[in-house]
Amino acid sequence: MLREVARRAGVSHNAPYRHFADRGALLAALAGEGFRELGERLRQSAPEAMGEAYVAFALAHPQRFRLMFGGLVPLASDPALATASRQAYEALLQAFRDRGDIGDPAAAAAAAWSLVHGLAHLLLDGHFRQATREGTDAARFVREVLGAVRFVGAAPKRA
C-alpha cells in the first residue's frame, strides 16, 4: 500500500519516507484531511441539514470515511485528529443548545451524531441494500430515517 502510492506517484518505493514517518503517519494525515473537509461541509450546512450532509459525505468518500472511523488510525495517534473531531462535535452541541427546546443538549447532540454516523456506516456496509434498492435513491431513504426520530424536549426524568 505504501509502495503502491509511490508507484502511482511514479516515484521509487520509500520516497514517501521523506514526507511521512511511516505508513501510519500517512494514513493519519489522510484522515486529518478528511476530518477537516467534513467539518467544513457541516459548517456550510444549515443545522437541520447537517445530518444529510454528514451521510452524503460518507457516501461520496467511502474509503476516506472508513479510514477516519475504522479504527485503523486511532484518534490518539495524532492530537490534531482529536481536536478536529472535538470541534465538529462542539459545533453540533452548540446548535442543539441554541434550539433552546432541548432538555439535555449534550445527550441530544451525542444521539444526533450517533444516528447519522451509524446510518452512514450501515449504508456503506450495505445493510440497507434491501431498503434502498426498492426506493429511488439513498438521499430519500436518509431523509425518511432521520425524520423518524424527535429529540426529547422535557428535562430527562431521574429514575
Partner DNA sequence: AGCCTAAGTAGACGATGTCAACATCGCGCC
Partner DNA sequence: GGCGCGATGTTGACATCGTCTACTTAGGCT
Interacting residue ranges for its own copies, rule: CB under 8 A: 66, 69-71, 74-76, 85-86, 89, 103-104, 106-108, 110-111, 113-122, 124-131, 141, 144-152, 156
Give the C-alpha separation, 34 to 8, whole Å.
21
> Residue 110 binds which one of DNA, its own copies, none, with CB within 5 to 8 A depending on kind?
its own copies
> Residue 15 binds which one of its own copies, DNA, none, with CB within 5 to 8 A depending on kind?
DNA
Residues 109, 42 contacting (CB under 8 angstroms): no
Q: ∠ CA(61), CA(55), CA(40), 5° rounding?
A: 70
> Residue 98 binds which one of DNA, its own copies, none, with CB within 5 to 8 A depending on kind?
none
Write the DSSP assignment of 69-133 as a string of letters: HSSSS-GGG-HHHHHHHHHHHHHHHHHHHHH---S-HHHHHHHHHHHHHHHHHHHHHTTTHHHHH
Nearer to DNA, 7 or 129 (CB): 7
Question: Smallest distance from the beta carbon of 44 to its own copies, in angstroms?
Answer: 21
Which three cell numbers mark 23? Answer: 505508513
> Residue 149 binds which one of its own copies, DNA, none, with CB within 5 to 8 A depending on kind?
its own copies
For binding to DNA (CB under 7 A), which residues are involved? 1-4, 6, 11-15, 17-19, 22-24
